[in-house]
Amino acid sequence: MNATCSVAVFLMLALSAAVVSPARAIEPDAVGVGMVHPPLDPNQPLYFYLSPDLGAYPSTLTPDDSLTFRTGEHFIDIATAPPWFAPITLKLDYDLLYLRAVAVSRHWVEVVVNESPQRPRSFPATAWLNREAVSFRPWTEFLLDVYGVEATDPAANPLRSGPGDEFPRIGSSDGLSLRVVAVQGSWLRVEDADADETDLPSGWIRWRDGDRLTIKYFLLS
């Protein structure tokens, strides 16, 4: 094998490893591909795979760890969890458990399992789940069902008359909780969640800029 081939093979292996490495850096405001909601079922553990063969069926592989549930006095609670489990949303008294999805394949979905900025280097940042065992929703579907959204930087992301920076501003989104009406590309058509109390018309704000979220979303009122 000549030197050129050796370098090509090394780069190909390095890129392949980067796809499945649980230690890869995940930005806190990265968009990823969507959100995952596992079933909160005491009879159904959630299995984590750290570096699976993505061409294999999950049922043929041995998981590296798991999350289990138990029936609590008022709601389904966590029974056992890995020490590194810190999802983006965990409010079980409202049946809310969401993990940020950063990659998806036919049988698998990769999620951020530790959102802590102080995550020890020995802890994985991501893990893979059996896609059929969870509810995966791309952002375009997830955002249509959230209670409301806000622009993280209202000055840079005002309410516009159409889905694009070329459309004129029609108002400020500062301090407003906005209800998502439609999604078009990187833009959301929104209306004021308190429309009865304001005369602000519906408009558009940007929800992503490349792989960066430009909004905050709220699951509860």
The token pair at 83 is 């020490």
Q: Is the pLDDT of residue 19 over 90?
A: no
Structure tokens at 137: 């929703």
**pLDDT for res 176:** 81
The CATH 2.30.30.40 portion of the chain extends over 146-218
Q: How many C-beta atoms lie closer than 10 Å to residue 7's C-beta?
A: 10
**Band of pLDDT at residue 46, cut at 50, 70 and 90:** very high
Q: What does R_g of the chain's alpha carbons equal in angstroms?
A: 20
Q: Which residues contact 47 (CB under 8 A, 6 or more apart)?
A: 58, 63, 65, 66, 129, 130, 133
Most confident segment among 34-43, 167-176, 192-201:
34-43
Q: What is the DSSP annotation of 163-207?
A: SSTTSPEEE--TT--EEEEEEETTEEEEEETTGGG--PPPEEEE-
pTM of the entire predicted model: 0.82
The per-residue b/e assignment along 197-206, b for 16 or more CB within 10 angstroms, e otherwise, is eeebebbbbb
- Tell me: the pLDDT tens digits for 102-141? 999 999 999 999 998 888 888 999 999 999 999 999 999 9
**pLDDT, averaged across the chain:** 86
> What pLDDT is stored for residue 208 in this prediction?
95
The listed CATH number (3.40.1790.10, 3.30.530.20, 2.60.120.10, 2.30.30.40) that belongs to domain 146-218: 2.30.30.40
Q: Which two tokens stand for residue 195?
A: 């429309």
At residue 173 the predicted structure's pLDDT band, cuts being 50, 70 and 90, is confident
User: With contact defined as beta carbons under 8 Å apart, do 155 and 171 qualify?
Assistant: no
pLDDT at res. 12: 34
For residue 10, pLDDT over 80 is answered with: no
What are the CA-CA distances from residue 143 to residues 38, 50, 176, 185, 190 (Å)? 18, 28, 16, 12, 11
Using the structure block, give the residue that is written with the tokens 């102080």.
Answer: 118
Assess contact for 202 and 190: CB atoms under 8 A. Answer: yes
> Which of 120, 122, 150, 125 shows the shortest CA–CA distance to 214?
150
- Cβ atoms 181, 159 nearer than 8 A: no
Please report where in the chains the tokens 């951020």 appear, as a residue: 112
pLDDT on residue 5: 40
Is pLDDT of 8 > 90? Answer: no
- Alpha-carbon gap, residue 168 to 188, rounded angstroms: 15
What the block records as the tokens of 98 is 């969401």
Q: Are the C-beta atoms of residues 82 and 67 closer than 8 Å to each other?
A: yes
**SS3 (DSSP) at 53:** coil
Give residue-wise pLDDT tens across range 142-167.
999 999 999 999 999 999 999 999 99
What average pLDDT does this structure show over 28-54? 93
